Amino acid sequence: MTWIRRHANVSVVFSLVVALGLLAYVAYVGTARASAGQVWTIVQRTWLWVLVLTVPYLVARALVWYELLRELKIRVPFRQMAAAFAGGEMTKSLPAGVYVQNFLLGRLTHLSTHSTIRSTMATTATLGLESLLALPVALIIGIPGASWLTWTLLGVVAGWVVVLILAWLLVHYRSLHMGPNVAAWRQRIVHATEEFLQAGGELLSIKTAKNLPPTAVYMLIYAFDLYIILRAVGVHNVSFLQTMGIYALVVLSVILVPIPTELGITEFAGLGGLLAYGVPRSTAAIIMLSLRLLATGATILVAVVVLVLVRHELARVQAAAGTSTSDAPAGPG
């Protein structure tokens, strides 16, 4: 288990270094004499729009996660789910930060290890739904001068499908053929991975497809945030449809690149997409950095409000849990 923790720590540190490196590069590109003025102009013209749109954006995201949890037979109280979701949204830009909501949900609702693993698949499935919508948009709209993009995306997606199938076969085989002499920590890893993949198999159903409309809603809202920032800074040669294509590329880059971080990859991919449409380098960088500043700031603000609204209920639940624990009969010895 020490090796696993060390490996996990190295992965997080590596992802954070890559994220900060990409973000630093975009910030460097955006450094210009008028950059501060551009950022201030964007914030003044768009902050209210972004803040207002963040509410339906988060509602749609929460609805998708809640429905996926229910589909996996995980029934949790709404307030605890809302608190866990809000916490996850505040950290989702960080390496593996989106899974903080599963940790919080497990702590707030006292989920079993079995249910916590399955809830993690519900979070992962939201990324799958986003990919399912973003892929055709990216393929149809495309990026100017990037004829290679179509086959690259199809190849990467096909590669991930093959990897997942092989992982399922390997884990299933290992689970069936594990002897009693296998270390306990290895058995736990195999069984947890098998449970995770089995939950994913349960979500491969028509019922899951009903979550595509709310997923499309919150993705369109984020694309519109990018579009109004483009307009605020004076970029008028990129239509909303083309903005959707850029955003689809960003989504696929974040999900398909095997580095578990949204920070940095979002800005780098968006920078490339804007440059393809002839947006000046410094302006394109400022646009993506402003999107990060406004969208993340608005998300954190709304999430904090949610946590404040449910804090009394959470305190009551935690107090009740503590009382039930203290009232339990003591064990022998």
**Per-residue pLDDT tens digits of the chain, which is 333 residues long:** 444 455 555 666 766 777 678 777 677 676 765 677 888 889 999 999 999 999 999 999 999 999 999 999 999 888 889 999 999 999 888 877 888 999 889 888 888 888 888 999 999 999 999 999 999 999 999 899 888 888 999 999 999 999 988 988 888 878 777 777 777 777 788 888 888 888 888 898 899 999 999 999 999 999 999 999 999 999 999 999 999 999 999 999 999 987 778 888 899 999 999 999 999 999 999 999 999 999 999 999 999 999 998 877 666 666 665 555 444 444 443
Cα 278 from chain centre: 29
Q: Please state the domain count of the chain.
A: 1
* Within a domain: 327: no
Helix (H/G/I), strand (E/B), else coil: 283: helix
Separation in Å, CA 3 to CA 100, 117, 139, 216: 22, 21, 41, 40
Q: Dump the DSSP string for 151-169.
A: HHHHHHHHHHHHHHHHHHH
So what's the pLDDT on residue 317? 60
Beta strands in the chain (DSSP E): none
Unique residue bearing structure tokens 């159903």: 205
* Within a domain: 45: yes
* Within a domain: 14: no
* Within a domain: 16: no
So what's the pLDDT on residue 316? 65
* Within a domain: 321: no
* Within a domain: 306: yes
* Within a domain: 115: yes
Structural domain of 248? 26-316
Specify whether the CB–CB gap between 227 and 289 falls below 8 A.
no
* Within a domain: 102: yes
> Any residues with CB less than 8 A from the CB of 65 and at least 6 apart, and which?
81, 85, 101, 122, 123, 126
